[in-house]
């Protein structure tokens, strides 16, 4: 490039928008290979379900390209779409940074740290977090077998980020004003079998009700399962009504293990979950299911690479399916 052309180029650069500057930085950093890798993963995931997102017809043909992705046209309904249409990542920009952001999720980085590493805004980082987890969190076992342990844990109800709060605001990391279990806390029911397969349910504020227990547990446990719990009196009644075997340990009396009867696995999962959540300095209750799914992704270790997490974002999970 001639010096005169360089001077003209520099003057034009001052007129670029912030978004155009970021795109230029990605180009100067030679991220073409990264873009190709992300685009290839997106197209590969789309081939597994190449149907029209509107009428679900598989009679489609290529219809040009846009934003680096192949577009398709549905013959029966005439709608056009690409690999991202109808997915949680639709209408998101900066595909070159998606693999890097997936790596941030696997490392449990905060919103601000991920935004700093990707040179993006914190709002973008927060939006991507929940878009990436929308389908990835659904990679769960369908049913638990053998011996399963069940127990509840409670976290402080949070309206973090809400524009219209239903109660007075409190300091970050505050405490409930009432002692014990109250409507200021949210119940998380965790069920975990001895193979490590885990299911969790956000059952709402206050103590776990009988209706919630019956709604959550019977669909996900075998009829011949042995359900092990603590000494809460509601579980023997539930087991009798559900027609399953039940055993309990009296933790208040100091009895933690009776042969194979214990709740140490689910208690250890509670400790890991609570310690992991504490790093985020309070999680909004409305986003709690996403964080529980995120924690399961890390604990199950079925998704170990950014590429696998990006595929899971489209609902394409590892071939080893948990049943």
- Does 310 reside within a domain? no
What's the pTM value of the predicted model, to 2 decimals? 0.80
> Look-up: residue for tokens 């987890």?
133
- Domain identity same for 151 and 291: yes
Q: What is the pLDDT of residue 315?
A: 79
**pLDDT tens digit string along 92-123?**
888 888 888 999 999 999 999 999 988 889 99
Phi, psi of 73 (to 5 degrees): -125, 130
- Does 119 reside within a domain? no
- Domain identity same for 14 and 153: no
Q: What is the pLDDT of residue 323?
A: 42
Q: What is the pLDDT of residue 104?
A: 93
Q: What is the pLDDT of residue 320?
A: 47
- Does 141 reside within a domain? no
- Does 57 reside within a domain? no
- Domain identity same for 21 and 153: no
- Does 142 reside within a domain? no
- Does 250 reside within a domain? yes
- Does 112 reside within a domain? no
- Does 47 reside within a domain? no
Q: What is the pLDDT of residue 29?
A: 59
Q: Domain total for the chain?
A: 2
Q: What is the pLDDT of residue 272?
A: 95
Q: What is the pLDDT of residue 40?
A: 77
> Mean pLDDT per segment of 10 residues, for the chain of length 323 residues?
76 74 64 63 70 82 79 86 84 86 93 90 94 90 92 90 82 73 90 93 91 92 92 90 90 79 92 92 90 93 88 77 43
**Is residue 23 classed exposed, middle or buried when 0-12, 13-18 and 19+ CB atoms within 10 A define those classes?**
middle
**Is residue 113 classed exposed, middle or buried when 0-12, 13-18 and 19+ CB atoms within 10 A define those classes?**
middle
- List the domain range (segments joined by +) for residue 22: 1-26
């Amino acid at each position: 490039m001639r010096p005169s052309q360089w001077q003209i180029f520099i003057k034009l650069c001052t007129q670029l928008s912030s978004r155009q500057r970021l795109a230029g930085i990605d180009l100067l950093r030679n991220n073409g290979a990264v873009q190709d890798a992300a685009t290839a993963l997106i197209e590969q995931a789309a081939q597994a379900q190449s149907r029209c997102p509107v009428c679900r017809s598989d009679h489609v043909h290529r219809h040009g390209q846009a934003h680096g992705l192949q577009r398709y046209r549905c013959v029966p309904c005439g709608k056009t779409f690409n690999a991202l249409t109808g997915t949680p990542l639709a209408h998101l920009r900066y595909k070159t940074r998606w693999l890097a952001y997936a790596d941030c999720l696997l490392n449990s980085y905060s919103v601000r740290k991920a935004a700093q590493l990707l040179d993006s805004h914190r709002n973008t980082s927060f939006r991507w977090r929940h878009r990436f987890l929308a389908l990835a969190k659904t990679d769960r076992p369908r049913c638990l077998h053998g011996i399963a342990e069940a127990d509840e844990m409670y976290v402080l109800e949070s309206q973090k980020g809400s524009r219209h709060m239903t109660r007075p605001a409190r300091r970050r990391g505050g405490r409930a004003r009432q002692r014990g279990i109250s409507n200021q806390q949210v119940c998380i029911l965790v069920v975990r079998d001895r193979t490590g397969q885990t299911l969790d349910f956000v059952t709402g504020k206050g103590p776990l009700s009988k209706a919630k227990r019956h709604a959550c547990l019977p669909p996900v446990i075998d009829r011949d399962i042995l359900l092990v719990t603590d000494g809460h009196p509601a579980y023997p009644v539930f087991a009798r009504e559900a027609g399953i075997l039940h055993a309990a340990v009296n933790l208040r009396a100091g009895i933690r293990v009776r042969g194979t009867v214990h709740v140490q696995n689910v208690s250890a999962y509670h400790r890991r979950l609570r310690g992991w959540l504490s790093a985020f300095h309070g999680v909004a209750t409305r986003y709690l299911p996403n964080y529980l799914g995120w924690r399961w992704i890390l604990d199950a270790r079925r998704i170990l690479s950014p590429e696998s997490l990006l595929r899971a974002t489209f609902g394409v999970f590892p071939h080893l399916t948990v049943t």
